[in-house]
Structure 1
Amino acid sequence: MPILDQYGNPIPQEPPKAIRGSLALESPYRAYPARGLTPERLARILRQADEGDLALQAELFEEMEERDALLFSLLQTRKLAVIGLDWRLEPADEGREARRVLRAVEEVWWNLPLEDLMLDLLSALAQGVSVVAMSWEWDGLLWRPKAFRWVHPGSLIYREAEDRFLLASRDQPQGVPFPYGGAIEHRYNARSGLPTRAGLLRSVAWLYLFKHYALKDWMVFAEVYGQPYRIGRYDPAAGEEERRRLEEAVRALGADAAGVISKDTEIEILEAAKGQGPDVYERLIRLANREMAQAVLGQTLTSSEGDGGSYALAKVHDRVRLDLLRADARALATTLREGLLKPFVAFNFGPERLDLAPYPVPEVEEEKDLESRARVLQTLQAMGLRLPEAWLREEFGVPPLGEGQAALERRRRGLVAGQAFVDRLGDRLLEKAPTPGLPALLRAIEEAADYEDLRRRLLTLFPEIPFGELAELLDAALTLSELAGRLAQRQDSGLDG
């Protein structure tokens, strides 16, 4: 019985011949929809994408990245965070066959242009979907991926009934499906629903529109800001030609500060008001930038400047962004296994061994606060918890001391030295204490029913105790202990060498 793919088609044992030797995919016709974009046109473009035609939406999103430097930077930050991770391959199971498949995949995996491939696939963050076509070659032993080419999403058509993206062309305007192993399809679901509406730039499109409206108006304002108003006055009996010359002179005064007019006409120059006009444009652009950063990165503090905030709050936002990084990395790992490694296994080991395809694993680790962790472990150790040295070395990245290597001697200072001083002071107090000693005193305290009973027991135990001398001794010991603690704090904080 044949093994079927997700669309119910038999998985072949060899790469598809249709695009095996060539990736001749057509480039979409450029319509530049961002030029002269209006709210009505934007709404029409988005509705067209909802119906499955991605051409104009894809081109618009591409132009938005090109025209808006902040948006480009935000998306690059999101993509490069995933690409910059350390990736490894893990076998599907611990069996010998899975290990054999892993060795074959590793032989090919590390020779692939992984960074470029990941960057192309991660364009799904903006568009909602990204497809990279593949061609294969036979090297005498294995079928290997030969070349990758990003398919512009404007060439894709979404068929909702099959939940599938098709490749459209002039010859096939209704679209044709990619054969198994002929392309890697990566989707990003920023929200539930149609994948044509799942890209991040669906949420950012309106912000982009209003931001660039404000930017355009700001440029127009800046062009005339501060220039005086020129008002031309002409006699009602003036002819058409005379009025035209007056208008030309008024306009020329703005650019050339010169003009020729009739002596029967008059030009009045009024000083421009020095208001706060630019503020409204700047505030609107700042608002749009913050909302864009919130949509793409999940936070704003690491993408803006001059808006206040604190380091501690930025660290909290970093953890939110770390959640996005983990989600992006896991989704990409799943796509690489399904779209690249499983076809490799099917073509080289047979479709029945698909489940032996290894797992790409991204290593996403949160930065540890080693200083705080060391303080916690020090407290636990002081409470009597025994910590294995090998685990501590691994936790803090401290290698074991090699044979013949010199070790740095730690100076006894601060808390350690202070505690040692207090311990010695306690021993001296016990030496000065009158007989019968501490055990009898503790037993009396434990057995006493109340304070009055304890007082009687103490008088019995110590009938000749010099209370005045003992009080002075205890007071001196407390003073010395406090001074030792203060000195230890100064040493540990670096205030005292």
Structure 2
Amino acid sequence: MKRPQLLDRFGRPIQRNVLTKEVSAATIGGVRSPVSGYPADGLDPVRLASILRAADQGDPVQFLELAEIIEERDMHYLGVIGTRKRSVSQIPITVKAASDKPEDVKKAEMVQEWLERGELIEELFDILDAVGKGYSFTEILWDSSMGQWRPDKLEYRDPRWFRFNRHDFKTPMQLDDYGQEKPLDAFKFIFAQVKAKSGLPIRSGLARAATWGYLFKKYTERDWAIFTQTYGQPLRVGKWGEGASEADKNTLFDAVANIAGDCAAIIPDSMTIDFVEAKSANASSDLYLNRVEHLDQQISKAVLGQTGTTDAVVGGLGSGKEHRQVQEDIERADAGTLAAILNRDLIRPWMDLEFGPQEAYPTLVIARPEQEDLKTESEIVGNLFKIGLPLKTEQLYAKFGYEKPKATDEILGQISPNGDAPANAGDGGKQTSKIKRFLEPIKYPKPEQGTQTAQQALQASQGDFSAVDDLGVLADQLQNTARPQITAMMGQIEAMMVEANSLEEFRAMMLAGFGEIDTSGFEAMMAQALTSSFAGGHLAVEEESRDA
């Protein structure tokens, strides 16, 4: 049987012999060199603009290297971009089956089992390199050694080894061993694009905006370092007399310059220099700090959408809770984007390789479980119980995460047999006073004196069931016997519901009142019911015999 032709999302056919090989590994001295350049050295606005312009025109190498260096040299950018990536890479991943059919459920379970791999968090972190650079490439190494297809590794690949189609600058391409651009091998790569803004992939990453903040911040830090080094140092001025030679002047300058610091000068003896001192040196030093903090805050806004979780801003607008909600919004968006990428470039190809093209596929869901407000929920349950709405105890136990206690378990707050509250009761016994009167086992009323029960009527017949004229008499007598006991029980339960202020208190009353219920009355009723049934059977047989 010929296997169906599989195509990737770009309509390109797969080559099965390529899937288990590395096609974009690093090569020393080749076009995929792991050695990186350092375009940040000597960076200025003109050079930065030329680097960004070259990236827009299809040569992104220096921009990608600069983005890498910014993460290494700017601790603030490293912190916030790392926070954004780690917050998503550690979110629980679940798998939703395509349907309830057993075969679809089995596929979902297979994917879920693969997701339990310990390497997954690190692999997802690398895929999310797209948050900064705008895109990332991850090579899928497939394993078919056991006769089935399965992703073995997800290897991060340097984005410098890839390009975009010159026609649209959107379609990803890979570099072959000779540096020529060619389409991505089908089913071999996870191409992730996390957009900070709409537009071309090379211009959609956060590093694009961070480069300018990085440049201005480094200028300020350099000036701040010079100011800090020379602040408080005395100015040395050397003077030479008439007729001094160049050699004398050089000697004089070396003398004043080597005393300490850079604040040194030499002038002719006939010249004067006036030093005008700044009114507030402290204000000058604060200027550097304020500028650096301002630039850091702009980076925080760009990466996390807010500053409350990274920068302590005195008098800043908005609470920490609101700032955290903004960050959670971005987290959910990143998680949704990552899940869509994995479903498109990993899960669907996997299912196609293993089972062939499918009508529907299992779906990865990356989302944090919703946090329920159990305090509010408990108040709602209490109010519903007070108005008499019946509730399932099993559902409540599951809602609050508690296990239903067994008969042999020690119950927290349980009333002791003598009516005293236990030592662990939080109310100190105050809530048990009105429960005590329900502690005595319920005594059911006996039949009124002189009333002949059904059993007594049958005994009076001395075994001659025909002597009993009507079974309806027996039934009425049985009902009259049971009614007082049932009425007493219902009255007791209604009284408990009126007195109880909470579900827990009502439960304690029920346990107290019915924990050791006196069943002698019900036993007598059942005996009478069985006797009546026995008698009715014999009467029916005798009537049939007489009619025959």
Normalised by the length of structure 1, the TM-score is 0.73
2:8 pairs with 1:5: yes
Match of 2:354 in 1: 348
1:295 is matched with: 302
Shift of 1:160: 5.4
1:84 equivalent in structure 2: 90
Equivalent residue for 2:183? 177
> CA 1:319 to 1:17, structure 2 compared with 1: closer, same or farther past 3 Å?
closer
> Counterpart of 1:280?
287
Question: Which amino acid is 1:10 matched to?
Answer: P
Alignment of 1:310-329 (within 5 A): 313-329=319-335
Indicate whether 1:202 and 2:208 are aligned.
Answer: yes
The aligned residue for residue 225 of structure 2 is 219
What's 1:398 paired with?
402
Q: 1:40 matched to which residue of 2?
A: 46
Q: 2-side partners of 1:21 and 1:268: how far apart?
A: 69
Partner of 1:135: 141
Cα offsets for 1:277-296 (capped at 9, x unmatched): 21111111100111111111
Q: Which letter does structure 1 place at the counterpart of 2:13?
A: P
Q: Which amino acid aligns with 1:167?
A: Q
Aligned with 2:183: secondary structure?
coil
Distance 1:149 1:83 in 2: 16
Question: Structure 2: which amino acid aligns with 1:281?
Answer: Y
Q: Is the 8 A contact 1:230 1:270 kept in 2?
A: no
Relative to 1, partners in 2 of residues 1:373 and 1:299: Cα closer, same or farther, differing over 3 Å? farther
Quick one: which of 55, 61, 64 aligns to 2:67?
Answer: 61
Aligned AA (1:407): I
1:273-312 per-position Cα deviation (integer Å, ceiling 9, x unaligned): 56122111111110011111111111111112363559x8
- Once the two structures are superposed, residues 319-361 of structure 1 have per-residue CA deviations (whole angstroms, 9 ceiling, x without a partner) of 11111111111111111122222222222212x22x4432112
- Report the AA paired with residue 223 of structure 1: Q
Cα deviation for residue 24 of structure 1 reads 4.8
The answer to whether the Cα contact below 8 Å between 2:150 and 2:350 also exists between their aligned partners in 1 is: yes
Task: Give me the whole-angstrom Cα distance separating, in 2, the residues matched to 1:402 and 1:72.
Answer: 53
The one-letter code of the counterpart of 1:288 is L
269, 282, 307: which one pairs with 2:314?
307
Stretch deviating more after TM superposition (36-45 or 365-374) = 365-374
Query: Displacement, 1:2?
Result: 4.2
Amino acid at match of 1:8: G
**Residue 178 of structure 1: CA displacement?**
1.9
In 1: Cα distance, 2:247 partner to 2:109 partner: 89
Contact 1:123–1:130, Cα closer than 8 Å, also in 2: yes
Counterpart Cα distance in 2 of 1:225 and 1:170: 56
Aligned: 1:363 with 2:371? no
* Cα distance, 1:52 vs structure 2: 2.6
CA contact (8 A) 2:94 2:366 kept: yes
Structure 1 Cα separation of the partners of residues 120 and 354 of structure 2: 21
Maintained 8 Å contact 1:75/1:126 = yes
Aligned to 2:411: 407
What are the equivalent positions in structure 2 for 1:104-183 lying under 5 Å apart? 104-111=110-117, 113-159=119-165, 161=167, 163-168=170-175, 171-172=178-179, 174-183=180-189
- Alignment coverage as a number of residue pairs: 411
User: 1:215 deviation in Å?
Assistant: 0.8
Secondary structure (helix, strand or coil) at the match of 1:5 reads: coil
Q: C-alpha offsets along residues 238-276 of structure 1, whole Å, 9 cap, x if unaligned?
A: 222222222111112225999xx9xx8999997975612
Structure with the larger RCO, 1 or 2 (CA within 8 Å, 6+ apart): 1
Taking the aligned partners of 2:300 and 2:237, their CA distance within structure 1 comes to 46
Structure having the higher Rg: 2
Amino acid at match of 1:50: D
Deviation per CA, 1:406-431: give whole Å up to 9, x if none. Answer: 22225559xx97xx9xxxxxxxxxxx
Describe the superposition over 1:29-85 as per-residue Cα deviations: whole angstroms up to 9, x where unpaired: 522111111111111111122223221111111110011111111111111111221
What is the deviation of 1:108? 3.6
Q: In structure 2, how many angstroms separate the alpha carbons of the residues matched to 1:88 and 1:303?
A: 30
Rate the CA distance shift 1:225–1:20 in 2: closer, same or farther, 3 A.
closer
Residues of 2 paired with 1:212 and 1:257: CA distance? 23
The whole-number CA distance in structure 2 between the counterparts of 1:290 and 1:400 is 51
Cα deviation per residue 1:391-411 (whole Å; 9 max; x = unaligned)? Answer: 444444333334422222255
Please name the residue that 1:233 is paired with. 239
Provide the C-alpha distance between the structure 2 equivalents of 1:339 and 1:144, rounded to a whole number of angstroms.
14
Distance 1:360 1:408, change over 3 A: same
Structure 2 Cα separation of the partners of residues 127 and 11 of structure 1: 28
CA distance in 1, matches of 2:387, 2:48: 65
Distance 1:36 1:386 in 2: 75
Give the drift of 1:372.
5.0
Q: What is residue 71 of structure 1 aligned with on the other side?
A: 77
Return the alpha-carbon distance in structure 1 between the equivalents of residues 350 and 364 of structure 2: 14
What's the % identity of the aligned pairs?
A: 31
CA 1:233/1:94 → structure 2, altered by over 3 Å: closer, same or farther?
Answer: same
CA distance in 1, matches of 2:54, 2:37: 15
> d(CA) in 1 for partners of 2:253 and 2:18?
71
CA–CA distance in 1 between the matches of 2:165 and 2:24?
Answer: 26
Aligned partners of 1:127, 1:96: CA distance in 2, in Å? Answer: 42
Deviation of 1:146 after TM superposition, in Å, equals 3.0
Which stretches in structure 1 are left out of the alignment for 5+ residues? 421-497
- Aligned-pair RMSD on alpha carbons? 3.5
Structure 2 gap ranges (5+): 414-424, 435-548
Paired residues of 1:232 and 1:267 also in contact (CA < 8 A): no
Distance 1:59 1:29 in 2: 10
